[in-house]
Structure 1
Amino acid sequence: MSSVFALVDCNNFYASCERLFRPDLAGRPIVVLSNNDGCIVARSAEAKALGIKMGVPVYKVERYLQQHDVAVFSSNYALYADMSARVMSILEELAPRVEIYSIDEAFLDLTGIDSIQSLDAFGTRIRQQVGQHTGIRVCVGIAPSKTLAKLANHAAKQYPATGGVVDLTNPERQRRLLALVPVSEVWGVGRRLRQRLETDGIRTALDLASANPKSIRQQYSVILERTVRELNGESCLSLEEITPVKQQIICSRSFGQRITGYQEMREAICAYASRAAEKLRQEQRIAKRLSIFLRTNRFNAAEPQYMPSPSAELPIPTDDTRELVATAVKLLRACWKDGFRYMKAGVMLTDFYETGTFQPDLFNKGAEHPRSKALMAVMDTINQSGHGHVFLAGQGINQVWKMQRRSLSPAYTTRWQDIPVVK
């Protein structure tokens, strides 16, 4: 039985989440900003129609946004993550196998579905069910390979007449679409590769699909050869149902204002180490190496520069917030220098083990806190409940260095006091 994949992609996801609980924003252009409200990272369809570009610093277009009554939001990661989880849970109910590809995209295995229902009808069912249960609109691309499913999804977004669903299981439809799509839209073809391909006369997705796979492998890479085969309907990329284990965890942010004092930096490092420890426990891993890094603004030649990145190996791997924070503070104390304006800092965990698999040496029995696992479990339960937040005092309370989010919307779905009230 031939494989059939679907790529389900949420339309303008961040902007759609912001509009979901604000019916007064219907038809109004929306943009969402990056950390510290720096650049535009998401746009509604109306904002795209105004010609607002991705990645542009918001201060450069502030007047233009005001002139066109554009609603501006700071990134609300809690809201987006929760809405993503709701969308993905619906997809997992509809398909036997699902690969969550990103916060707003998922591949579905639809192999054999066409024996029960047409693939077009099933794609429409996905759109209707996700829209009804979450309010988020999605587009669905269906094809015999993941690369073709990506292109089918692109067409579903590009052409309104498709109704948001494109089925590319028919070879003739595949060739027609490939002829219309520039090679830059093919999954995995970046800017540099596109330039090389265009120089060699490969300008459309059909040109790439028509190339000899062996010649492509010799001239470019085995990865691009695989792409050529995928464009011809040969499935070379399997569904990854289990997310690969992370090899490192980094928690880092640019500061809302420059840090010059040790106490403020200590608070930030404590907060980042605590967050990294939470992520580590979510991965069900323990870490043996911790690094920190401090950054001044390397783009400002008028300021003195200092960018240390010390690391330390823990006696035994751990996921205990207290152990990791203590190690991070020790590293900070050793590398701290006054007289610099720090714009960013971070904590990185590496060298992971599964719990209970690390064998300490003969002379190092380790010094884990008693009942560490139970305490960390209680902290995580409270912090994930939405009823309160438990943290180490070293993280500070005021946190004047914290990331700026002046236009942050409420946590509509994850904080009790922010749940909308219908009168």
Structure 2
Amino acid sequence: MADRVFALIDCNSFYASCERVFRPDLLRTPIVVLSNNDGCVIARSADAKPFVKMGAPYFQIRDVLEKHGILAFSSNYALYGDMSQRVMTVIEGLVPALEVYSIDEAFAEFTGIPRGQVEALGRTLRAQVLKLTGIPTGVGIAGTKTLAKLANHAAKRWQRQTGGVVDILDPERRDKLLRAVDVSEVWGIGRRMTEHLQAMNIKTAWDLAQADAWTLRSKFSVVVEKTARELRGTSCLELEEAAAPKQEICCSRMFGKRLKELAPIREAVATYAARACEKLRSQGSSCKRVRVSIRTGMFNPDEPKFARGEVMELPYPTDDTRLITKAAVQGLEALYRPGFAFSKAEILLLDLRRRGEYTDDLFAPVQPAATERVMGVLDSINARWGRGTLRPAGVPATPEWGMRRDLMSQSYTTRLDQLLRVQS
């Protein structure tokens, strides 16, 4: 059997890169992207990183951004999601197998490709993604997924020297990189784990690779043991081409402003429930319980605090937006207390079950066949004409409480009225 070969393709500063694709005038302008309600920094272009920390509150750094000529954008999730799909489509057409790991990175299987062509394929991938989507990427190639992640880190860190592609299939190159990289940069090793490992004099990726695997397993977990084995070149993690169905589905948003009345909070809960149900049906699942929760802002010492949730049992496993929304609203009405300024609501679908994977009592109620047809029509119309074209009556088209995004760019690829215009 041929030795395993993996590649990790990771988009560079993905959110910021998406903003630049349709704005070539921003190619040399530092960019930051803000979280919901323009709260804090969640993404930075490389040239903005020296001046802005990740997570910095926007209201505190406006002067810093202006001083260094850094442009801020609200999160444009429709644009980012569509650009991600385009990137993954390009990659999928060039590799034998693909695992989409997150919105901006994917593992590819290179096993079986002649050794002399592996790096060339990595450079072809990078060039094609840039040509067809405008998104720059880094490519790391190695014999395990953990090493590929580390190689990708090197490709982005030393981009000028490497051209954005690093191949560490050669043991000498692999060991040289392991000695040069801090253990904190290893995939899956967080801040607290780094502190524990450093206390054991494990300071680099090389040190972790040389550590006794059974000691790591007994002292920490089997995950850390597998990480060490992967750093040595033993493949322990397979490519997951099909994502496993989620065991819980959550839809949670901060309101664009504080809400004190029940009516707008009810609209928000209905909206979040409808979105959660879309996700539920997309993976072919039903749910038996729904949890609704609301809370106030928790950091203003002058505001009274409130945070509670309510779990509602459904009469049968269902993916019916109407039934789930009704239960969520009933839970909200039991939770709501006047006199508080609420800042957030959350819908959590629990006890998820794939169709055909559960057996109820013979006389227990089941979801009517007509419901499946109604939900199928709802999803097909929205898939063709855009989300929200057909929606429950309790879900407003443009809510006053909607998320604040004052600095959002156009949805260049998902809305006809915001397509890029070229003037002659």
Residue 331 of structure 1 deviates from its aligned partner by 1.2
Q: Distance in 2 between matches of 1:137 and 1:84?
A: 12
1:386 Cα deviation (Å)? 4.3
Aligned to 1:110: 110
Task: Provide the C-alpha distance between the structure 2 equivalents of 1:273 and 1:108, rounded to a whole number of angstroms.
Answer: 35
Give deviations 1:66-117, integer Å, cap 9, x for gaps. Answer: 22222211111111111111111111111111111100010011001125x5
Instruction: Please state if 1:28 is matched with 2:38.
Output: no
The alignment's TM-score, normalised by the length of structure 2, stands at 0.95
Which residue of 2 is the match for residue 7 of structure 1? 8
SS of corresponding position for 2:290: strand
Structure 1 length normalisation: TM-score?
Answer: 0.96
- Residues 100-141 of structure 1, C-alpha deviations (whole Å, 9 max, x = no match): 1100010011001125x5211111011111111111111100
Q: Which residue of 2 aligns with 1:346?
A: 346
**Are the equivalent residues in 2 in contact too, given 1:386–1:414 (CA < 8 A)?**
no
Shift of 1:52: 1.2
The alpha carbon displacement at 1:405 in A equals 0.5
Deviation per CA, 1:363-411: give whole Å up to 9, x if none: 433463x632232222222323345622222123442211100011111
What's the counterpart of residue 261 of structure 1? Answer: 261
Does 216-225 or 95-104 show the bigger shift? 216-225
Moved more, 382-391 or 344-353: 382-391
**What's the offset of the Cα at 1:183?**
0.7
Instruction: Give 1:374's aligned residue.
Output: 373
CA distance in 2, matches of 1:170, 1:386: 51
Q: Which amino acid aligns with 2:61?
A: V
Indicate yes or no: 2:197 matched with 1:200.
no
Q: What is the SS of the residue equivalent to 2:308?
A: coil
State the Cα distance separating 1:163 from its structure 2 match: 0.5
- Counterpart Cα distance in 1 of 2:357 and 2:118: 46
| Within-5 A mapping of 1:285-364 | 285-364=285-364
Identity of aligned residues (%): 49
Say whether residues 1:383 and 2:382 are aligned partners: yes
Q: What's the offset of the Cα at 1:357?
A: 4.5
Q: Which consecutive residues of structure 2, in runs of 5 or more, have no partner in the other structure?
A: none
Aligned match of 2:45: 44
Looking at structure 2, the residues matched to 419 and 384 of structure 1 have their Cα atoms a distance apart, in angstroms, of 19
Whole-angstrom CA distance in 2 between matches of 1:422 and 1:180: 47
Q: Which residue of 2 aligns with 1:234?
A: 234
Deviates more, 1:255-264 or 1:330-339: 330-339
1:72-83 aligned within 5 A: 72-83=72-83
Task: String of CA shifts for 1:267-289, please: whole Å, max 9, x gaps.
Answer: 01100111111111111111111
| Moved beyond 4 Å, runs of 4+ | none
Provide the rounded CA distance (Å) in 1 between the counterparts of 2:363 and 2:398: 43
- Give the whole-Å Cα distance in 2 for the aligned partners of 1:416 and 1:163: 36
Shift of 1:184: 0.5
Q: 1:145 to 1:397 in 2, by over 3 A?
A: closer
RMSD over equivalenced CA pairs, Å:
1.5
Question: Counterpart of 1:140?
Answer: 139
1:244-301 C-alpha deviation (Å, 9 max, x unpaired) = 1100001011111111000011001100111111111111111111110011123234
Equivalence for 1:172: 172
SS in 1 for 2:257: strand
Residues 216 and 356 of structure 1: CA distance in aligned 2, closer, same or farther (over 3 Å)? closer
Match of 1:183 in 2: 183
- Can you list the C-alpha shifts for 1:294-340, whole angstroms capped at 9, x where unaligned? 11123234332222211111111111111111111111122221111
AA in 1 matched with 2:370: R
C-alpha displacement of 1:205: 0.8
Matched-pair contact (CA < 8 Å) for 2:175–2:206: yes
Letter in 2 for 1:129: Q
Q: Check conservation: 1:6, 1:108, Cα contact below 8 A.
A: yes
Aligned partners of 1:386 and 1:415 also within 8 Å: no
Please tell me the residue identity of whatever aligns with 1:153: N
Q: Distance in 1 between matches of 2:184 and 2:268?
A: 40
Contact 2:317 2:367 in 1 (8 A): no
Give, in whole Å, the separation in 2 of the partners of 1:415 and 1:380: 18
Q: Which amino acid aligns with 2:293?
A: F
DSSP 3-state at the match of 1:364: coil
> Aligned residue for 1:125?
124
Segment drifting more, 212-221 vs 313-322: 212-221
SS in 2 for 1:393: coil
Inter-partner Cα distance in structure 1 for 2:219 and 2:270: 49
Instruction: Count residues with an aligned counterpart.
Output: 420
Match in the other structure for 2:275: 275
Letter of the aligned partner of 2:106 in structure 1?
A
Residue 360 (structure 1) shift: 3.8
Aligned partners of 1:216, 1:314: CA distance in 2, in Å? 44
Equivalent residues of 1:317, 1:358 under 8 A apart: no
In the TM superposition, what whole-angstrom CA distance separates every residue of 1:226-255 from its partner, at most 9, and x where no partner exists?
111111111011111110110000101111
| Matching of residue 66 in structure 1 with residue 34 in structure 2 | no
Supply the distance in 2 between the matched residues of 1:244 and 1:362 (Cα, whole angstroms).
29
Unaligned segments of structure 1, at least 5 residues: none
Secondary structure of 1:395 counterpart: coil
Write the distance in 1 (CA, Å) between the matches of 2:320 and 2:256: 28
Alpha-carbon contact 2:318-2:367 (below 8 Å) kept: no
Contact 1:7 1:149 in 2 (8 A): yes
